[in-house]
Structure 1
Amino acid sequence: MLKFILRRFGSSFLVLLGASLLLYVLTINSGDPLSDLRESNADNREFLIEQRVNFMGLDQPWYVRYWTWLTGVGKCVIGQCDLGTNRSGQSVLDLLGLAASSTLRLVVLATVLAMIVGIAIGILTAIRQYSGLDYVVTFFTFMFFSLPVFWAAVLLKEYLAIGFNDWIADPTYAWPTVIAIGLVLGVALQAVLGGNPRRRLFTFLGAFIFVCIALPYLDWLNFARFPQLGPIALTLVGAAAAVGATALGVGLQNRRVLYSGLITAGLGLVAYYATYSLLWDPNWLILFVMAVVAIGVAVAVGRLTGGYSKGAATIVSVFTTLVMGGLIIVEHLFRAWPSYLAEVGRPIATIGSQTPNFTGTFWEDFLDKGTQLLLPTILLALISLATYSRYTRASMLEVSQQDYIRTARAKGLNERQVILKHAFRNSLIPITTIMAFDFASLIGGAVITEQVFGWKGMGELFRTGLTQVDPAPVMAFFLVTGTAAVLFNLLADILYAVLDPRIRV
């Protein structure tokens, strides 16, 4: 494996070197970087031209400029990166840091959401092949995939930003809206859960009645402007997470695993009260330390109470901890929502990555950046959803026809074990490839999405450099995205061997 990794690194280095040379030559020959100054009527035009020539090194041959850039990149090995300056004299390394942080904040959440939801949808549609649910999901996933990005962005701005901002000023749930939501949720839920006609009817009625009761109750509480969860909701959701994880993992008949999850949910409720004052206005270091401690406690609970199923109990405990921790964070965000709403007025922004000159508590700042992140994240996740769901579905259907799956069923394993432990793991290999390339490409920035929503990320850095015939930002973009593509491709190869030991041979 080590020899394989070293060989891949060597070949990848040569590919990156050749690609960087080609991109540099194409960029500098794509136009005249001094064209705007040559047409200027400013009195100091000659000075500005001379200044830009010095910043960009235009008085030197192209190969000398390329070699200067390459040696500056080589200094990254010793922690002294020098990526040069753009045509305005700004350090490209500083610009790259700001752009990369903005893009990573945008694409990581979208990619993770697309992977989780897309894989779940792919498994579900593979199990329910050629059902009504399968056809409906197929239609919507391909529709999302084929939507023009700029048009979908405009729709999101209109209905999820402007429409929501108008509604939140005086939030009410009219009965026609309540009935419509109940009907849609009922139809969707009965399609997902399936079963005989009687079960589908009870599922539909249950969802419809729940919506008709819950939404007027939330309206009475003015939940949209003053949201809250409270200990009862925390306990119920935490217990549901423990039960659900146990049911999916080993089955509810394994009481030790179930008790591990429930104990963890109880400890999460204790932590909610114990850390309330500490989380009133925390920082990221406090959250990180508390997350590490919480996961450590969950692992200890799983190991101590799991018995012969220590591994499964640990997984269930950690999952329950993550759910409870997320709920505690949501509760503190709910607490900060009224003051944030009073300060900004219209919370869902349509442009930019944060409100200029915004000052507030940690949770208010969290809400500000989160609401700015909402629309582009939804857009990128919807576009990527089709890829993950269709590849997962196709891979699951192919694996389900294999002999070892039929053997597993013949041995008496229940369907949950057959799907999750046998079919799903072996179907992950092609999905791993998609994950690696998708994440590496998204690090490069969603150029259109960033432009529509006014994000100053990697895509914007590349577009600006290319428009201004400025090779330094373009090469910085290439350095990050090219390296990411190589590393994630290598990581995918390593994960192949982890998922399927036969590949190591």
Structure 2
Amino acid sequence: MYKFIIRRLLIFIPMLLGLTIIVFALIQAAPGDTFSGRMVDPKIDPKVYEEQRKALGLDDPIYVQYWHWLTNVAKGDLGQSYTYNGRSVTELIGDRIGNTLNLGLFSLIITLIVSIPIGIYSAKKPYSLLDYGATTFGFFGLAVPNFFFGLVAIYILSITLGWFPSQGSVSTPGLTGMELFFDKLHHLVLPGLTLGLAGTAAYMRYMRSEVLDVLGKDFIRTARAKGMTERNVLYKHTLRNAMIPIITLMGFEIGSLLSGAIITEGVFQYPGLGTLFIRSIGSRDYPVIMAINLLLGFFILLGNLLADIFYSIVDPRIRYD
């Protein structure tokens, strides 16, 4: 397995390089530039903006711009923001990535806690009342857009009932310790439920399908015939085999949660990478846009790598020699 991990890490490098090319090419294909997307003061001579473009290297050939950007990224320098008073992109992302990671982790925990037990129970008792209810919820979660569910959740749980805050990550500045922890957790509930809705529905359906499939295998019937308890059959044999597609989903979920948080954070005005990304698009702050896209792509590649590694841990039949 160690050889496989080394091979995957070596493949990781050219894949990251290809990702940088795609991200840079998409930005270059966008119409206009940072200055043409801003509200230009008619009192300022247009030559001033041309001088700024030249100072930032926006008039250089595309391959020169790409090489400068790539070498800076390799050094850990993601550039300077054009619209946030010249702040470094690394600083902007560093201030917000913690909130986005907390939101993604909270959403993933809710997804796993809710979907896996319900999926197992639905498979053990198919066509029961709970199974029909879980199926209905699954179709509902896959069909309803996250932003619409978020707006409904804000209206019912925040405005009408007043149970949860509708925006932000903290109630008041200056909180510390456990008070800050629980306040942030309180703000995470609504966006976490919204972000995890589709994932919960998908995990639940996959879990039900896989457990039903494994329960019909010959080795499960053999284990029961040997007198093994139903609990051991379920958790020692069935669940371990049924978890393989769930691990596949979790690998993709790392990147999809962060990318899906863009819309969710916009709905709840949650101060994470999503709101920063949306504002940067509106002002055509290309260094910030490229950095966030690169970061999302990196997490997707990392998730796939982790999924491949966990395959061999969950299922001993899988080897990468």
TM > 0.5 fold call? yes
Match of 1:348 in 2: 164
Describe the shift of the 1:442–1:52 C-alpha distance in structure 2 as closer, same or farther (beyond 3 A). Answer: farther
Q: Provide TM-score, normalisation by structure 2.
A: 0.91
Counterpart position of 2:317: 502
Secondary structure in structure 1 of the residue aligned to 2:127: coil
2:120 corresponds to: 123
Q: Which residue of 2 is the match for residue 28 of structure 1? A: 28
Gaps of 5+ in 1: 76-80, 166-346
Please tell me whether the aligned partners of residues 114 and 385 of structure 1 are also in contact (alpha carbons under 8 angstroms): yes
More divergent stretch after superposition (63-72 vs 454-463): 454-463
Deviations 1:205-254 (A, max 9, x none): xxxxxxxxxxxxxxxxxxxxxxxxxxxxxxxxxxxxxxxxxxxxxxxxxx
- Choose 44-53 or 460-469, whichever is displaced more: 44-53
- Give the structure 2 partner of residue 392 of structure 1: 207
**For each residue in 1:50-82, what CA deviation from the matched residue of structure 2 results, as whole angstroms up to 9, or x when unmatched?**
44653x43132222221112112222xxxxx11
1:260 maps to what in 2? none
Counterparts of 2:43 and 2:187, CA distance in 1: 39
Q: How high is the TM-score relative to the length of structure 1? A: 0.59
Alpha-carbon distance, 1:12 to partner: 2.8
1:19 aligns with 2:23: no
1 CA distance for matches of 2:80 and 2:227? Answer: 66
Does 2:285 match 1:470?
Answer: yes
Q: Which residue of 2 aligns with 1:101?
A: 98
Relative distance call for 1:488 and 1:150 in structure 2 (3 A) is closer
Taking the TM superposition and a 5 Å limit, the aligned residue runs for 1:366-381 are 366-381=181-196
Letter in 1 for 2:18: G
Please state whether the residue corresponding to 1:369 is helix, strand or coil: helix
The structure-2 alpha-carbon separation of the partners of 1:15 and 1:440, relative to structure 1 and needing over 3 Å to count, comes to same
Tell me if 1:405 matches 2:220: yes
Aligned length: 317
The CA distance in 2 between the partners of 1:500 and 1:140, in whole Å, is: 30
Deviations 1:335-364 (A, max 9, x none): xxxxxxxxxxxx732122223x52345333
Match for residue 485 of structure 1 among 300, 314, 317? 300
1:61 aligns with 2:61: yes
- Name which of 391, 397, 414 aligns with 2:229: 414
Cα distance, 1:474 vs. partner?
2.2
Question: How much does 1:44 deviate?
Answer: 6.4
Distance 2:156 2:130 in 1: 26
Matched, 1:87 2:82: yes
Is the 2:195–2:260 contact (alpha carbons within 8 Å) kept by the matching residues of 1?
Answer: no
Aligned partner of 1:425: which letter? R
Amino acid of the residue matched to residue 424 of structure 1?
Answer: L
Equivalent position of 2:261 in the other structure: 446
| One-letter amino acid of the structure 2 residue matched with residue 441 of structure 1 | S
Q: After the TM superposition, which segments of 4 or more aligned residues of structure 1 sit over 6 Å from their partners?
A: none
One-letter amino acid of the structure 2 residue matched with residue 141 of structure 1: G
464-473 or 408-417: which moved more? 464-473
Q: How has the CA–CA distance of structure 1 residues 424 and 27 changed in structure 2, closer, same or farther, with 3 Å as cutoff?
A: same
CA contact 1:30–1:469 (8 Å) conserved in 2 = no
Distance 1:358 1:458 in 2: 20
Structure 2 residue identity aligned to 1:85:
Q
For the Cα contact (< 8 Å) 2:195–2:257, is it kept in 1? Answer: no
In structure 2, the partner of 1:41 is 42
Equivalent position of 1:253 in the other structure: none
- Report the alpha carbon displacement of residue 494 of structure 1 after superposing the two structures with TM: 1.3
Determine if the alignment matches structure 1 residue 2 to structure 2 residue 2.
yes
> Are the aligned partners of 1:440 and 1:488 in contact in 2 as well (CA < 8 Å)?
yes
Choose from 88, 91, 113 the match for 2:110. Answer: 113
1:70 maps to 70
Amino acid at match of 2:80: T
Once structures 1 and 2 are overlaid, which stretch shifts more, 96-105 or 121-130? 96-105
Give the counterpart letter for 1:112 in structure 2: I
Q: 2:114 & 2:240 partners in 1: Cα distance?
A: 17
* Amino acid paired to 2:82: R
Q: Equivalents in 1 of 2:126, 2:38: separation in Å?
A: 62
Q: CA deviation at 1:45?
A: 6.0
* Alpha-carbon RMSD: 2.1
User: 1:111 Cα deviation (Å)?
Assistant: 0.7
Query: CA–CA distance in 1 between the matches of 2:74 and 2:152?
Result: 45
Query: Which residue of 174, 188, 195 corresponds with 1:359?
Result: 174
